[in-house]
Chains A and B, each alone.
Chain A
Amino acid sequence: MNPERIYRIAGTLVKSQLRSGRSSNLGMRLFNKPRVILLLDSTLFLIAAGVAYGVLVLAGGMSEETSALLNTITLQGLTSLPALMPPTIFIAAVLFELSVSSKFASSDVVNWLPVSQTDYVSASTLSIAYMYSFVVAIALGFTFPLATRAALMPAWGASAVLSLVALFATGALVEIMRAALNRVTSAVYGRAKRGALVIRLAVVVLVILGMEFVFNPTIMSGVVGTFSGAVSSVFFVPFFWSSIAVSELAAGQLFLSAAFSALTVLFALLLLFVAVKVRARYWSPLPVTVEVTESEYSPRTGFLQSLGLSAVGAAIVRKDLRGFTRRRELLAYLAIPFVFGALIVVQQLTTLGANSSSGGAPPVYSFWLIGGLVTTMIASTSVGQEGKAILNIYASPVSPGVLLRAKLFVASLFGLGTTIAILVVSTFLAPGSVAGFAVSLLASVVIVMECVFIGLGVATRHPDLQERPRPRFVEPTWLTLAILLGIVLAFVTVFPLVLWPSASGYLEGVGLSYESAVGLGLAFGCLICIIAYRWAMSGAAKLLYELNA
């Protein structure tokens, strides 16, 4: 192990992470050195500490009972902090690792440099821990004033140190996963062929759904609640050793605390050792060969053309749909509808359990959530997804209208498919009137089309065609604006539906019936569709005018 070399490699990996996502000069200037992370961590620590301190000041003089409760919560927080690091950071890191384009994942320069596995894995582990250290900084900042007030500073100090150790252990865990996935991918691709793509998609969706549930407030509070009393009951789980150490320290059990702290450090080192061994054994720097079919080539005759697309448009649609199931960096986008769908269904099930009498109400939130977010996101990124291969579109006889219609087809397929699926499931769970369902369906279609055109307008005007480890596909500022605009316009479109139950009296008083209110909303939506379509079309013409990639 060469500490100087590890430091240099870790620094390079952090620089790569920091710079790969920057395209503006300002962003590059601000985020070009690893020490910016330290600065960011310090700032976040101070902000979080300031917020917590402000809350304490605003709360003023507390009763003894409230004060005791706050102390208990603070101790629970300090105890649970190191144990919450691994799930939080691991899932985020897994998502990032899975979303790195295979083109970049297989081109590690380190593969042909004279660097030992131990040095590289240690450096990579350190860089992951460093990149995610902001999570620890925020948590420690927030708990600092609370711990000071509750005279729990020793526990806070132990929690801080052990959280950092847990952060390192999580980094090692990500390294193990990275090498193991590389092996699994090679093995599965060798045998499962096209099935491997489906397996990968399923894995990503499951991971994201897992994250969704891990961060579910109910489950989070359950985990924190574990530490309220018998934390030692989970002594057999190594990831809890750090929390047990903090808990024992607070209870005055110094020997037990020291023992579990030592065990925590040893466990982190063990994970690093395993990560080195797994990488040495399984890492393959070569790109995997995937055979998508074994059948002889036979030109397709067009199902898509029967839906009104031209041959050129159908080819672009087919290509884009294949990209969604095959490109690692697009899998997260494909998973988003599943995640939001599951979220809404779970939420509705919870609501039904709590208040079954409210069943039957149209799930209005699903319109602007799915319509405004998922659809806009997919439409906005549709041009940037081409990357540098957009040269194929420029070099081919493709008109702006054909390109726009192809992108429109793909984005609306996702938007409409997801929204209608959720609407149907929601209606099944909470049946309502046929008329209500019809109105919801119509509103869904209008909203999805609004958002698709807004997204395409942004996609054609502000695509990000740069190919990097984690491509963005669209300029982030414009993506944010498009999402906000989509949500606002979608909300205005369904406003009469939302407003009617509480304001029907007033609206009828001004001569507006339910039907005319809904009609007004939908007419507004259609008008937006026309305006946004023209905007998107002029964007497509501008895009194809000259190659800027």
Chain B
Amino acid sequence: MRGTTLETQASVDSPSVPKNPLNGVAGISVVGVSKSFGTFKAVRELNLRVEPGEIMGLLGPNGAGKSTTMKLILGVVKPDSGTIRIFGKDVAREAVETKQLVGYVPETAQLYEFLSGVEYLDFVADMYGMAAAVRKREITQFLSALELAGHENQMISGYSQGMKQKIAITAALMHHPRLLILDESLNGLDPRSARIVKDVIRSLGREGYSILFSTHVLEIAEAICDRVAIMDQGKILASGTVPELRAKAGLPGSSLEEVFLKITGTSDLRDIVAELSK
């Protein structure tokens, strides 16, 4: 059965959730949010809460509503109903202030391709009002760590997809946002850079950053996320820690992939595979 709802509200007092140093103010608080595009309902009555210091994985098949959810939280798409708060600030009413707190890496890096890598980062640093000394230090460090040093003065139009993604990740991280929204941000990265980014994400989580992270690579989600929410057809079908999800799916000891397939109702793929293999 597709779309079995195991839990629709994320647990606030889950044992894996770090202590909230902000007196209960969530990094992300999404309450009853819906969004339609014409007759298509992209997000339905969504409730989601991510604490400071928590890494929340958002999983789901293509078209599940993950990217729309992230854009709703970022404030670039407006909900039809419901409220979204980032560290207590209303995204609809304090758009500029909340964006100041967020770093966002979109599914596909949308960069100004006529700028060089370092010019683009300088542009983003200006957007967030970073001081000259800080931006120089941050940009230099990130470029070096992600092996972009030596390419920083080239126009982005000549970059590979992976290099563009590294620039987008640097742009999202360098101003030290309190909330990171990463939409399949490891796509296209080489193993070394992917490892660095994963470690940086873990480290930022420990430092108290809230992180919402979507990926199709379930091993990564299992490895770095404190909690995971599984979405399909605009709804959260289940959320919790990976062991909790295993228990809820009745699949103790199984992989997150098996849990995901069961919850999204796509576990029996044998007929499809057999048909494609003919």
Contacts and interface: CB of A to CB of B under 8 A. Distances in A.
- The reply to whether chain A is a binding partner of chain B is yes
Interface of A: 102-103, 287-295, 297-301, 311-312, 314-315, 318-319, 322-323, 326-327, 388-392, 394-399, 544-547
A389 B78 contact: no
Contacts of A299: 122, 125, 132, 135-136
B99 interface: yes
A327 B114 contact: yes
Contact of A292 (B71, B75, B116, B135): B116
Contacts of A322: 114-115, 119
24 contacts: A288-B158, A289-B154, A291-B154, A292-B116, A292-B119, A292-B154, A295-B153, A297-B118, A297-B136, A297-B140, A299-B132, A299-B135, A314-B126, A315-B122, A315-B123, A322-B115, A389-B113, A390-B110, A391-B76, A395-B106, A396-B124, A397-B99, A397-B100, A547-B71
Nearest to A394: B76
Contact of B110 (A312, A326, A389): A389
Nearest to A390: B110
Q: Lowest 7 CB-CB distances: which A-B pairs, in order?
A: A315-B126, A289-B158, A396-B127, A299-B132, A394-B76, A326-B114, A547-B76
A100 to B, nearest CB: 13
Given A292-B116, A297-B140, A397 B97 contact: yes
B89 to A, nearest CB: 12
Nearest to B114: A326
Interface string B65-93: 00000010011111000000000000000
B252 interface: no
A397 B132 contact: no
B32 interface: no
B157 interface: yes
Contacts, number: 110
Given A297-B136, A547-B77, A391 B106 contact: yes
B99 A392 contact: no
B116 A293 contact: yes
Interface of B: 71, 74-78, 95-97, 99-100, 102, 104, 106, 110-116, 118-119, 122-129, 132, 135-136, 139-140, 152-155, 157-158
A392 B118 CA distance: 15
B78 A546 contact: yes
Contacts of A388: 110
Given A299-B122, A392-B123, A395-B104, 20 more contacts: A287-B158, A289-B155, A290-B158, A291-B153, A293-B153, A297-B122, A311-B126, A312-B126, A319-B115, A322-B114, A322-B115, A326-B114, A327-B114, A389-B111, A389-B112, A395-B106, A397-B128, A398-B96, A546-B78, A547-B71
Contacts of A301: 132
Contacts of A389: 110-113
A323 B115 CA distance: 8
Contacts of B125: 299
